């Protein structure tokens, strides 16, 4: 039996992982997050422990009690502009916490599955495969690349799963996603400005959760790219959303990323080559059109 501990279970990926793993008879799952369990209302049977990944004593206590075979680390400061404005906080959560988790996984022989990002790359040569060299253009990417370096030197079993622009419906959180943002603004008759000069392979949260599970199921080691398989600009994504919901595409204005004032620079063209994950893990993502359908079915009308 796999005994899987999830960090960051209150976040989007953490929630999807809990929903995926809980019904599996071959898995014992423990959800952990800082603060209260946001899934208590919809998954009351989900085992949960409060755990702050920046506190080594809390990590040790929980791992020693649960004895996981695998730890899937999803907790992070993922708001790119927040990281740019709070270097200390970003380092604490994105780098130092990983060092604490690696130490605990080494001590207890736990297989660590660490979730990383396309933002470790500069976006000059996307899409990227697993052998590409990181060169981040913002502080978020720098902290995530530092975390990868820590994991790479771990003496426990480890896998790094990088992903791109994750979207989905999250419970009990004041967070939206590109699908619902476009839908809700167009329904309200608002004009939206969407960039045409950034390229990504957007990832449905359920697909990323499945990639994490496949890595744990197969005891996979090394680096894997887990994302969608279509290179799209946010503008192209917005057009697909408008078409799906039958909304007015004339409200979608093209924009250049240079016209937006954001604290953190964004890489222009990332996206992933996912053939390794497809071949070695059996990973098969939804198309973006299928992802819109999943989000639409879960979201409030």
Where do the domains of the chain lie? 2-169+204-228+269-287
C-alpha 142/C-alpha 121 separation (Å) is: 9
- Inter-residue contact 110 to 68 (CB < 8 Å): yes
Q: Which pLDDT score, from 0 to 100, does residue 173 have? A: 67
Decide: pTM greater than 0.95: yes
Q: Which pLDDT score, from 0 to 100, does residue 83 have? A: 98
Q: Rounded to whole angstroms, what are the CA distances from 133 to 118, 188, 223?
A: 11, 43, 12
- Inter-residue contact 158 to 111 (CB < 8 Å): yes
In the predicted model, residues of the chain with pLDDT beneath 50 are: none
C-alpha 29/C-alpha 167 separation (Å) is: 23
Q: Which pLDDT score, from 0 to 100, does residue 294 have? A: 97
Q: What is the fold, at CATH topology level, of the domain defined by 2-169+204-228+269-287?
A: Rossmann fold (3.40.50)
C-alpha 121/C-alpha 300 separation (Å) is: 35
């Amino acid at each position: 039996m796999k005994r899987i501990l999830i960090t960051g279970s209150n976040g989007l990926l953490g929630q999807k992982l809990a929903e995926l793993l809980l019904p599996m008879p071959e898995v014992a799952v423990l959800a952990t997050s800082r603060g209260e369990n946001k899934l208590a209302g919809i998954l009351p049977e989900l085992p949960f422990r409060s755990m702050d990944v920046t506190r080594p004593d809390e990590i040790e206590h929980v791992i020693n009690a649960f004895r996981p075979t695998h730890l899937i680390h999803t907790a992070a400061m993922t708001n790119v502009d927040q990281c740019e404005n709070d270097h200390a906080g970003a380092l604490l959560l994105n780098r130092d916490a990983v060092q604490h988790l690696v130490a605990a996984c080494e001590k207890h022989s736990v297989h660590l599955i660490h979730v990383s990002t396309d933002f470790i790359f500069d976006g000059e040569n996307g899409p990227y495969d697993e052998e590409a060299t990181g060169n981040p253009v913002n502080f978020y990417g720098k902290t995530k690349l530092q975390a990868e370096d820590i994991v790479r030197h771990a003496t426990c079993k480890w896998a790094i799963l990088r992903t791109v622009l994750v979207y989905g419906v999250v419970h009990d959180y004041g967070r939206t996603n590109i699908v619902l943002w476009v839908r809700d603004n167009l329904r309200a008759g608002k004009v939206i400005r969407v960039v045409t000069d950034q390229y990504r392979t957007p990832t449905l949260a359920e697909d990323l959760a499945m990639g994490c599970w496949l890595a744990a199921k197969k005891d996979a080691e090394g680096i894997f790219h887990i994302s969608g398989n279509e290179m799209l600009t946010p503008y192209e994504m917005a057009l697909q959303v408008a078409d799906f919901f039958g909304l007015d595409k004339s409200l979608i204005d093209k924009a250049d990323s240079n016209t937006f004032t954001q604290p953190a620079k964004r890489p222009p063209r990332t996206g992933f080559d996912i053939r390794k994950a497809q071949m070695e893990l059996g990973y098969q993502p939804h198309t973006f059109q299928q992802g819109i359908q999943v989000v639409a079915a879960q979201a409030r009308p």
